[in-house]
Amino acid sequence: MIKVVVSGAGGKMGQAVTDLINTSDDIKVIGGFDLFAKGSENLKIYDGLYKIPEVPDVIIDFSNPSAIKNLTKYAVEKNAALVIGTTGLTDEHKEMLHNAAKSVPVFVSHNMCLGIALLSNITRQMTEVLTDHDIEIIEKHHNQKIDAPSGTALMIADSVKKVRKDAFYVYNRADVRKKRDKNEIGIHSIRGGNLVGEHTVLFIGEDETISISHNLTSRKVLASGALKAIRFTAAQKPGYYSMDDLVQSSFCPQKGQ
């Protein structure tokens, strides 16, 4: 049985992950961590990690980047693996996570959906072939989302940059009157209603446009991917892991065990 602490337990994703874990046979939530949320009959939520009586095997986090410092410190002290789904991480946060990965398994993804991981891989492959096409990314989320662009859009853009080394991201063209640079990757954010998440990549060439999209209608898909990430990370040695590693282990199970 994999013992899990859910960080950001009071948030929408924290609740979705907790609910799905409660239906599984191999994972158990031993407590929640959230500075602002209260517990329920199904889950006791603590306002401090060290107040949780049991030591988890894995901590999964959907909270705020400001929590990364304490999470990494606690994880290393308790020898607990980390699964980070929080977006908006700075270089400082990423450095903390890489340092923690020297001691414990650390899994980081801006999106826990396997479909998004596959879309990112397909985007990279298309970039290798469509060398003359302009690339634009459009992301749509609910009106409560704080960060823009989404971490997922940046993850997709990063897959392009693995091929186009000189590419740079452009978020706003309204203030600049000039032609589009060939190395631009335009990233556009739309916010409204209760959209869970939609990402579209456009490859725009001469006389043709190729569009690939991924649309989420429920957080259940993200929660399902989060459980896969928990199972995967719990079985790993110390190191820094991503959705690419999880996808590869799905096709080659021996690499993920």
Residues tagged active-site: 141, 145
Q: Residue 123's closest CA among 137, 140, 139, 109?
A: 137
CA distance 111 to 117: 8
Measure CA 138 to chain center: 17
Contact present, 235 and 257 (Cβ < 8 Å): yes
Measure CA 109 to chain center: 3
What is the identity of the amino acid at 175?
A: D
Q: How far is CA 93 from CA 56, 75, 242, 254, in A?
A: 22, 14, 16, 31
- Residue 52, both tokens: 């949780």
- 101 burial (CB, 10 Å; 0-12 / 13-18 / 19+) is buried
Spell out a b/e string for 155-171, using b for 16 or more CB atoms within 10 Å of the CB, else e. bbbbbbbebeeebebbe
DSSP state of 235: T
